[in-house]
């Protein structure tokens, strides 16, 4: 089937059943203009549950020990591996700030459910925590002030990072002229923005960054970075799941929005994100990092992209398999560690289901 003719499937996995074609719109839909304030009656308890689960998963940057990392950076890493790390932390310097800005500017104002906005408030805190983590990371990894300043300017000076930033900014600004989601066209604009930040930025750009971190950890390197990334990884998986649940909710309330044209736009967007991240991989790995190739990274990106398309109820576009066994092991290891962590590792005890069941 040609890309332009590819419709959304009836529903993404786990989605609520959609309304029958031609049915009258429901009252109080989640994207209706307005600002509902009260939690009772609660129309979307799933978002309140996500908020409560997020509160249970509380950590602080002070818990992360970078001391072994500094030894690795000074004595162990090869020049090509140091280049990878420098590029990676330069991306980290602004990545979560971009996501936080889009959350405030475009998501919070248009998702008209107080229980969902409670989750977004928690997500904003977590994005600030990630920014603090990466600031602490840069302060430890790059003690030279001039080099650190250059890292924070990477979106202007490093082409592979600038391309990713421009991709993010273009989709963020796509909502600039939308004051209210009061027409189907504006609701589609909102959906594209939400899907972009969930699947392309948090679900692809960040997942690729996690893969580099866990590759280094598989070689016994930068365990402090990996420890902090474990928590960020869990947060980002929850952020993506929340956004996909919003998509499923809109699909159930307004199935006519999910037509072939929206499917084509989403598939093209995710394909462009893969190309952006591929260029970044060529930069990171261009000096020849033993054990990690650009070709394998491309296949991994395509594999993750197909997972995101599947989560959205769209056909896979690439058919690539995961070439990184260390990412498959990551799923098992983190599932075990998640339940074995002591109170010393969390400010609040964790219980219940783990959102760490994503396909990598």
> So which residues are the catalytic ones?
134
Q: Rg of the Cα trace of the chain?
A: 20
Residue 77 contacts by C-beta under 8 Å, 6 or more apart in sequence?
Answer: 85, 221
Crossing angle between the packed helical segments 159-173 and 260-284, to the nearest 10 degrees:
160
Residues 6 or more apart whose Cβ sits within 8 Å of residue 212: 84, 88, 284, 292
Which two structure tokens, joined as six digits, stand for 155?
A: 């979106």
For the chain, counts of helices (H) and of strands (E): 13, 0
Please give the DSSP secondary-structure letter assigned to residue 101.
H
Taking phi first (over 0 means left), then psi (-120 to 50 degrees means alpha), and beta for anything else, what does residue 14 get? left
- For residue 258, give the DSSP letter: S
- 360, 276, 290: which is closest to 324 by C-alpha? 360
Integer Cα distance of 224 and 40 in angstroms: 43
Q: What is the dihedral of CA 157, 201, 175, 130, to 10 degrees?
A: -80
DSSP per-residue codes, 211-228: HHHHHHHHTT--HHHHHH
The C-alpha angle with vertex 350 and arms to 348 and 351, in degrees rounded to 5, equals: 140
Closest by CA position to 182, among listed 15, 34, 338, 355:
34
Nearest to 83 by CA among 242, 226, 240, 212: 212
């Amino acid at each position: 089937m040609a890309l332009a003719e590819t419709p959304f499937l009836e529903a993404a996995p786990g989605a609520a059943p959609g309304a029958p074609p031609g049915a009258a719109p429901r009252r109080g839909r989640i994207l209706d203009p307005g600002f509902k304030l009260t939690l009772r009656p609660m129309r979307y308890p799933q978002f309140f549950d996500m908020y409560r689960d997020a509160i249970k998963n509380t950590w602080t940057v002070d818990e992360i020990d970078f001391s072994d990392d500094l030894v690795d950076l000074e004595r162990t890493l090869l020049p090509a591996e140091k280049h990878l790390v420098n590029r990676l932390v330069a991306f980290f310097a602004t990545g979560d700030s971009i996501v936080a800005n889009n959350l405030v500017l475009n998501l919070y104002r248009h998702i008209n459910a107080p229980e969902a906005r409670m989750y977004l408030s928690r997500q904003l805190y977590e994005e600030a925590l990630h920014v603090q983590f990466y600031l602490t990371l840069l302060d430890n990894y790059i003690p030279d002030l001039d080099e650190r300043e250059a890292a924070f300017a990477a979106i202007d000076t490093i082409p592979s990072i600038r391309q990713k930033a421009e991709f993010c900014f273009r989709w963020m600004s796509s909502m600039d002229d939308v004051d209210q989601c009061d027409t189907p066209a504006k609701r589609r604009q909102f959906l594209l923005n939400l899907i972009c930040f969930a699947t392309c930025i948090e679900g692809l750009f960040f997942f690729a960054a996690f893969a580099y971190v866990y590759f280094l950890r598989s070689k016994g390197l930068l365990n402090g970075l990996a420890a902090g990334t474990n928590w960020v990884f869990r947060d980002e998986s929850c952020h993506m799941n929340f956004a996909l649940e919003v998509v499923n909710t809109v699909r159930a309330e307004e199935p006519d929005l999910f037509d072939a044209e929206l499917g084509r736009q989403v598939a093209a967007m995710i394909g462009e994100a893969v190309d952006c991240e591929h260029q970044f991989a060529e930069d990171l790995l261009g000096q020849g990092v033993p054990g990690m190739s650009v070709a394998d990274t491309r296949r991994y990106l395509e594999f993750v992209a197909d997972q995101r398309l599947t989560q959205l109820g769209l056909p896979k576009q690439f058919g690539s398999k995961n070439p990184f066994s260390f990412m498959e092991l990551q799923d098992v290891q983190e599932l075990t560690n998640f339940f074995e962590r002591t109170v010393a590792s969390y400010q609040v005890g964790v219980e219940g289901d783990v959102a760490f069941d994503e396909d990598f």
